[in-house]
Chains A and B, each alone.
Chain A
Amino acid sequence: MTLTLSAIEKSFGSKKVLTGVSFSAEGGKAFGLLGRNGAGKTTAIRILMDVFPADSGEVLLDGRPIDYRHVSLGYLPEERGLYPKKIIWEQLVYFAMLKGLTRADAIAAVDKWLARLGLSEYRNKKLDTLSKGNQQKIQLITALAHDPAIVVLDEPFSGLDPVNAMLLKDVVKEEIAKGKIVLFSSHQMNYIEEFCDSIAILNQGRVALTGDLHSIKRAYPRNRLFIRTENEAPLLSAFPEVCRKAPGGGLFFDLAAAVFRAWPPLPAAEDKSSVMTALAGRYDIDEIKVWEPSLNDIFVAYAGNDPMASGGTQ
């Protein structure tokens, strides 16, 4: 199962919100939709959820225009909110029925999910009597109870304590394992990095980068080393042109021509493992590896307005 947004354009009045947005998400894998605030993520999600139509472009499922009557979608909006003064169980059943379940199926699904998330005791309480984290878990049930084929989770981890975050991770992994298309939108890069195989980064309504996360990382030039050491000064003074402090701690060591000026000479820059062995032999180094950008680095590089301004190596 492949969900594809193809050349989506959307304007609100004179404001162009999405320009030629295209990306694909595979079933059984999680997809991360990233972008800064106002980049067009919510608009893209709303078009995907059929809240309003795109000006042009298509939403395709397995290459054919998606038929919302036959495909069920689950959505956890970033702006959380249900009926605060109504009984939890009643509103969950209501939302499941709106999504097409029969009353009996809805009741069974809601009870199953309340038990799964450890919320059965709150079944007959009003929503506003629950803590924020528990309200969020209740909201998650509205996205999953009807067993949708496509799950869209907008900032699912915000506001959850580590134990609940772990529970949610398990739930998400289960959904992915069932072969569903899980679409994440989040600013918490560590979660995206943990779950998502593919990403799309939106910047000012355009897709700045999309594809398989692993390939994206491998595509970066692998000409920089990352070094962690207690004693940074000797390295910094020996290689002033190529060695500098990395933003998050540690050192960057660029494998540029300059390394050959060292005495005794280092191995050729192409022979990365020999360079690493040589450096580790000469200096007191705890960790040395070929630097690979984190998703955070990639995000800052592509979602920032100037791709060259940050730690990116391009």
Chain B
Amino acid sequence: MKQFGHIFSFELKYYFKSKVFIGITLFLVLLIAIVMFVPRLASGEDDDVDVSQLPPMLVKVDFETDPALASMVFSNFQSAFSDYRVLAAHDHMTKEDVSGMVANREVACAFVLDSLTSFTYYVDDLSMYDENSTVAATLLGNLYRMNVMLESGLSPEEIEEIMQTPIESHVEALGNDQTQNFFYTYIMLFALYVVILLYGQMTASSVASEKSSRAMELLITSAKPLNMMFGKVLAACTAGLVQLAAVFGSAFLFYNINKSYWEDNLMIRMIFDMPPSLLGYLLAFFLFGFLLYAFLYGAIGSTVSKLEELNSSCMPVTLLYVIATMTVIMNVAMGETNSTLIKVLSYVPFSSPLAMFARVAMSSVAWYEIAISFAILAASVVGVGVLSAKIYRVGVLLYGNRPTLKDIFKMIRRA
């Protein structure tokens, strides 16, 4: 146990001193900080927005109407398109003049209204996210209806009341609300995927480099293989947890500092509106999933004599993991967290950390289902751990040609 402690702290120190570990963690925290502080910084500038810096938008009312309606149209455009500098076109300008100005980039875009129910939107390159046309249609539709109501004799107050009548609506999601959970489930699945893969492979390369540098010759005579394997894997696991905690922790911290600035952003709000119990599940699934794969990776690392061989040796496990993850993530993306496939995957130990986590996050799962999945996973971790330590014990002494799976199992039986 003492020996395990020494190995664990030596390995953990290696992660915490590694420039890559520190670099990636700091980079992610910094990136999150920048993203989280953007609305605060942007809103600071809002106070003295320089209207002349906004892109110009030209609006031409190209039909006979009284000036009152024309100016109402114009002021409505101004308030609807606050991120543009809305300019009124001169009366003498033709449609061609307007389109020419857009083509020459004298204005960012332009609207030519043939009537309250018909308009043309001129823009140079139509962006995928350009919603100006939809906004204008809604705006003009409302103006048209108000105009008709005015003409039929209703007072402006009555019209306003009709237009503003709120519709009360209630949605009661009796299970989990997928629209809410989707974003954070996705982010967490992705984090699980990256961290398990990254630290699993780091475990493999750490074992393989000890072997290729022949430090193993000394290690195997100084420490028990079981201690070495568990010390290494748990150190990598702890490092991964610390990194996850640093990244998610700083995200929560920075979000809470800037919470008021994010109120308009539904997506970000939904991401951070995650139940704390889910974090518990994330932690548990990370721990078990990581251990399962890290043991496999560690065992593979022990069978490799040269670092160059490591990648190809790790391929089967990596492939298994990538396929499991992609299947789960694709099903989450399609909202199919209750499909038979996902249900099956949530019991198979190699995919259950991700699949069961997705199910817990996105749908309603009975407690005994989670318990069974956990039990299978935990039993597999123990089984794979013992098997890996056995492979490790014979693997570390093997030099020369890479053994095949058959060779390895033969050796384990003999050991």
Partner-B contacts on A (CB < 8 A): 12-13, 46, 49-52, 73, 75, 77, 79-84, 86, 94-95, 97-100, 139, 142
Query: What A residues does B71 contact at CB under 8 A?
Result: none
Q: Chain B residues with Cβ under 8 A from A98's Cβ? A: 3, 6-7, 219, 222-223
Closest to B394 in A: A52
- Contact residues in B for A79 (Cβ distance below 8 Å): 214, 217
**Interchain Cβ contacts within 8 Å, total number:** 53
Q: Give the number of chain B interface residues (Cβ < 8 Å).
A: 23
Residues of A contacting B14 in the complex (Cβ-Cβ under 8 angstroms) = 86
Contact B214 A80 (CB under 8 A): yes
Instruction: Tell me, yes or no, whether B10 is within 8 Å of chain A by CB.
Output: yes
Measured CB to CB, the closest approach of chain B to A103, in angstroms, equals 9
Query: Which chain A positions have C-beta within 8 A of B6?
Result: 94, 97-98
CB 8 Å contact bits of B385-410 with A (1 = contact, 0 = none): 00000000100010000000000001
Q: How far is the CA of A80 from the CA of B218 in the complex (A)?
A: 8
B52 at the interface (CB under 8 A from A): no
If the complex has contacts A13-B410, A13-B414, are A81 and B214 also in contact, measured as CB distance less than 8 A?
yes
Q: How far is the CB of B202 from chain A (nearest CB, A)?
A: 14
Complex Cα distance, B2 from A84, in Å, reads 25
Q: Smallest distance from the beta carbon of A105 to chain B beta carbons, Å?
A: 13
Q: Is the CB of B222 within 8 A of A51?
A: no
Q: Does B221 contact A (CB under 8 A)?
A: yes
User: Pick the contact of B218 from A46, A52, A81 — CB < 8 Å?
Assistant: A81
Specify which chain A residues have a CB less than 8 angstroms from the CB of B223 in the assembled complex. 98
Give the 6 A-B CB pairs with smallest separation, nearest first: A81-B214, A77-B217, A98-B222, A49-B221, A79-B214, A75-B221
B68 within 8 A of A: no
B158 to chain A, nearest CB (A): 81
Contact between A82 and B213, CB atoms less than 8 A apart: yes
Contact status B215-A52, CB under 8 Å: no
Cβ contact within 8 Å between B397 and A51: yes
CB pair B218 A95 closer than 8 Å = yes
Q: Mark B196-223, 1 if CB is under 8 A from A, else 0.
A: 0000000000000010011111111111
- Could you tell me if B221 and A77 are in contact, using CB atoms closer than 8 angstroms? yes
Task: Verify B222–A77 contact, CB threshold 8 A.
Answer: no
Nearest CB to that of A51 among chain B residues?
A: B220
Chain A residues in 8 Å Cβ range of B3? 98
Q: Is the CB of B7 within 8 A of A81?
A: no
- The answer to whether B218 and A99 touch across the interface, beta carbons within 8 angstroms, is no
Q: A12-B414, A51-B220, A75-B221 are in contact. List 8 more A-B contacts (CB 8 A).
A: A77-B221, A80-B214, A80-B217, A81-B216, A83-B210, A95-B222, A97-B6, A98-B7
Q: Please report the C-alpha to C-alpha distance between residue A80 and residue B214 in the assembled complex, in whole angstroms.
A: 6
The reply to whether the CB of B415 lies closer than 8 angstroms to some CB of chain A is: yes
Q: Using a CB-CB cutoff of 8 Å, which residues 83-104 of chain B contact chain A?
A: none
